[in-house]
Amino acid sequence: MRISVIGAGYVGLVTGACLAELGHVVHCTDNDSAKIAVLESGKLPIYEPGLDEIVAKNRRSGRLSFSADPATAVAQGDVIFICVGTPPLPNGDADLSSIDRVAQMIAAEAKSDKLVVEKSTVPAQTGQQLKRVLEIYGRGRGIRFHVASNPEFLREGTAVGDFLHPDRIVVGVDDETAEKQLREIYRPLLDQNFACPLHNGSCPHSNQPTWLVTTINSAELIKHASNSFLAIKISYANMVSDLAEMLGADIEQVMHGVGLDPRIGPHFFKPGLGFGGFCLPKDLQAFVRLAERHGVDFSMLREAERINHQRIESFVEKLRHSLWVLKGKKIGLLGLAFKANTDDIRFAPSIELIKRLHNEGVRVSAFDPQASEKISGQFPDLNCTADAYESANGADALLIVTEWPEFRDLDWKRIHQIMARPLVLDGRNLLSAEEMRALGFEYQSVGRPRVAQAMPTTSA
């Protein structure tokens, strides 16, 4: 099929590249001409493992192209995926102005019938408004617009694999034509008859995804309900972790035991600095606002949000308790992205943490394998180092903020030697408490018993 993708951010770029990988001819457009220029130069504006390979491969084959001309994209595509941003407004509502502008543009530029697919995360009933805008601005032109909701379930850091090997594909439609077109688009995934670029052509452990057909309203609600439930699980784990610390229990053992119940499951029971990124925080707020407008009490989600906001304050208090005075201290930060394997810093816990530390008069030295350049745009005076050892050198404390696997493999004996005080606060429970103690560190994590610095033995 000939498919156009409007919006070349995280969702749009992964969607476009992966649809091309499935054999479709895809044209991606974005109103950010600088982003398109980067893509046309053969580079990527974001870091996502595996994405650069499939973008380059499908550009060479001619199945994937980019331009800053949305009219061309509308004209070329029989199916148009809307992947524009829906950032939060000051009151928490999702800003749907970009979707409205795109809908008007599609209605004005279309020369033939189109299937218009919502891929952006939007509140329920947005699809009905989308249909209305297309009908109003496209009236009198003899063109029929079909509308569908096809929410994305991509995790940054594993987005390519999530797209090519999904557990479910949700399509919200109001007519049979839209479902048939979407089924044809995703047929290679449903039949598992494509060469997986992530596994040298084959993926023996991949299962056929569930094909779930719903109404448009239900599909939109599935996405928001899914993200909000994940946020609740994270906040629940953080709430219990505070009690575990007080009682001398190990939160990882506790959550493992709880997660063994098949009715609950182990995923997202991970305590730490709270959830961030562009999805969970804004989707949680938008879901609450949607419920409030319809008179439904979503105070449970408000509480999950409150717990999440408290995580940085709790982390800074741990640091203050250990160091007594923060002003003038040098603190090293390991990790700036909101999670590992991405350069995304949107709503990252590191941002609020840096602000708090700066307000306390702390000298911050930070390192991230991918996100340092982006964080510098928000904090021009932040000392972003070339590696983790430079951040640790002379530091009074070292804070693990993002769970990059390479941090686990650092030469921690060397770090112990170069720090002014061997104090590590592990906000992601990345390291082994016993191994850190054996190396002589003061080590604190989240929801686990505190490990004091090992004292040298003396003879009488």
Mind telling me the catalytic residues?
279
SS (H, E, C) the chain: CEEEEECCCHHHHHHHHHHHHCCCEEEEECCCHHHHHHHHCCCCCCCCCCHHHHHHHHHHHCCEEEECCHHHHHHHCCEEEECCCCCECCCCCECCHHHHHHHHHHHHHCCCCEEEEECCCCCCCHHHHHHHHHHHHCCCCCCCEEEEECCCCCCCCCHHHHHHCCCEEEEEECCHHHHHHHHHHCHHHHHCCCCECCCCECCCCCCCCEEEEECHHHHHHHHHHHHHHHHHHHHHHHHHHHHHHHHCCCHHHHHHHHHCCCCCCCCCCCCCCCCCCCCHHHHHHHHHHHHHHCCCCCHHHHHHHHHHHHHHHHHHHHHHHHHCCCCCCEEEEECCCCCCCCCCCCCCHHHHHHHHHHHCCCEEEEECCCCHHHHHHHCCCCEECCCHHHHHCCCCEEEECCCCHHHHCCCHHHHHHHCCCCEEEECCCCCCHHHHHHCCCEEECCCCCCECCCCCCCCC
What contacts 40, CB < 8 A, 6 or more positions away? 66
CA-CA distances (angstroms) from residue 424 to 69, 140, 285?
50, 67, 33
Question: How far is 375 from 382, CA to CA, in rounded Å?
Answer: 8
Question: How far is 365 from 420, CA to CA, in rounded Å?
Answer: 14
HSE-CB for 380 with a 13 A CA cutoff: 0
